């Protein structure tokens, strides 16, 4: 029996994000042809996605702890995100088959070899590495946030892409920390339940964690698609051109569309299409690009109205009452 490698990547997806998953899987296997990849099903709606298992060589991880993790998510839910509890399934990765791993949502592209980033965990003696930070998306202003900042914590990292190791948390530990966090629920972001939860757990344990770009160097600070600069490719790698900016000529490893719907107006749609149509007849790509531009022209006026400050403020006043 061949022993499977102990490092790899978990990802979460279902049929709702099927098109996103196609682009993600194509990009992942382009730069990581042999790296172990394991799907944590977002929920039970995964029939189409599971048909890709052999095409992209990924395993499926189903664990009895999913229900208990979802129960934690439900306890934190305030009615903003009906599917929020399912996001907590990802934390079963801490007792899954991989010893060192990276977790990734499906609404992103992988643009580099991930092995050096996963192995950096042990090389630089960290327990957890993360990407983008947005403190207001995790902690509300208040006593908890101020106390954590004084102690050097409260980075407010994104929960859609991170690196860690097996055994850092147990299910029982999560349930105990959840009980504590619910006592100060008003000091955690009301919407981003799973993101607030994992940040709270890392800050309370506490865990030795750091930003991937700060630890490794030479990598873009942000992976979000709306970061400044222009993406370019050189010698098979992707970089950001942002002359005078902090990430100028830094390598782009991950690109994610958190908060965006898959449509013609989303930024970097051309790069998404490159990987979505990979391996398909070129005519399909050409037709899709023409369709994208036509939809863009049709949607642009409505997008401008929707994002107008006066209209947006009026809309929120109306739904409030």
Nearest to 247 by CA among 123, 131, 161: 131
- Classify residue 260: in a domain, yes or no: no
- Classify residue 237: in a domain, yes or no: no
- Classify residue 279: in a domain, yes or no: no
Domain count across the chain: 1
DSSP code of residue 5 = P
Give 49-76 pLDDT, tens digit per residue: 999 999 999 999 999 999 999 999 999 9
Q: Which domain holds residue 165?
A: 7-216
- Classify residue 264: in a domain, yes or no: no
- Classify residue 22: in a domain, yes or no: yes
- Classify residue 246: in a domain, yes or no: no
Question: What is the value of pTM for the model shown?
Answer: 0.89
- Classify residue 54: in a domain, yes or no: yes
Give 12-34 pLDDT, tens digit per residue: 999 999 999 999 999 999 999 99
Residue 194: CATH number of its domain: 3.90.550
pLDDT reported for residue 5 = 75
Nearest to 256 by CA among 227, 224, 234: 224
pLDDT reported for residue 303 = 58
Q: Considering only residues 209 and 316, tell me which one the structure prediction assigns the higher pLDDT.
A: 209
Share of the chain above pLDDT 70, in %: 88
Instruction: State the DSSP H helix or E strand holding residue 310, giving kind and residue range, or none if neither.
Output: helix 309-320
Distance CA 170, CA 199 (A): 15
- Classify residue 244: in a domain, yes or no: no
Please list the alpha-helical segments (H only) found in 205-263. Answer: 212-216
Distance CA 237, CA 131 (A): 19
């Amino acid at each position: 029996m061949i022993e499977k490698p102990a490092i790899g990547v978990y990802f979460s997806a279902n049929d709702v994000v099927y098109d996103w998953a196609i682009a993600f899987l194509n990009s992942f296997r382009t730069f990581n042809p042999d790296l172990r990849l394991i799907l944590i099903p977002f929920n039970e709606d995964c029939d189409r996605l599971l048909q890709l298992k052999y095409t992209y060589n990924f395993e499926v991880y189903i664990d009895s702890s999913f229900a208990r993790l979802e129960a934690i998510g439900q306890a934190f839910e305030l009615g903003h995100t009906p599917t929020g509890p399912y996001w907590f399934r990802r934390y079963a990765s801490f007792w899954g088959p991989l010893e060192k791993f990276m977790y990734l949502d499906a609404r992103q592209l992988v643009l580099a070899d991930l092995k050096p980033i996963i192995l950096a965990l042990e090389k630089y003696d960290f327990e957890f590495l993360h990407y983008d930070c947005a403190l207001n998306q995790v902690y509300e202003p208040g006593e908890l946030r101020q106390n954590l900042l004084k102690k050097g914590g409260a980075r407010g990292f994104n929960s859609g892409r991170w690196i860690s190791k097996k055994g850092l948390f147990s299910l029982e530990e999560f349930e105990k920390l959840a009980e504590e966090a619910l006592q100060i629920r008003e000091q955690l972001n009301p919407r981003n339940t799973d993101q607030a939860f994992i940040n709270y757990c890392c800050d309370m344990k506490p865990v030795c964690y750091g930003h991937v770009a700060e630890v490794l160097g030479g990598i873009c600070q942000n992976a979000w698609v709306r970061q400044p600069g222009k993406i370019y490719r050189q010698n098979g790698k992707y970089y950001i051109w942002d002359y005078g900016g902090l990430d100028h000529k830094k390598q782009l490893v991950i690109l994610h569309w958190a908060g965006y719907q898959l449509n013609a107006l989303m930024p970097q749609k051309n790069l998404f299409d490159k990987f979505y149509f990979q391996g398909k007849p070129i005519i399909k790509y050409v037709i899709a690009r023409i369709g994208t531009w036509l939809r863009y022209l049709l949607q642009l006026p409505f997008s401008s109205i929707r994002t107008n400050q006066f209209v947006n403020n009026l809309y929120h006043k109306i739904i409030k009452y």
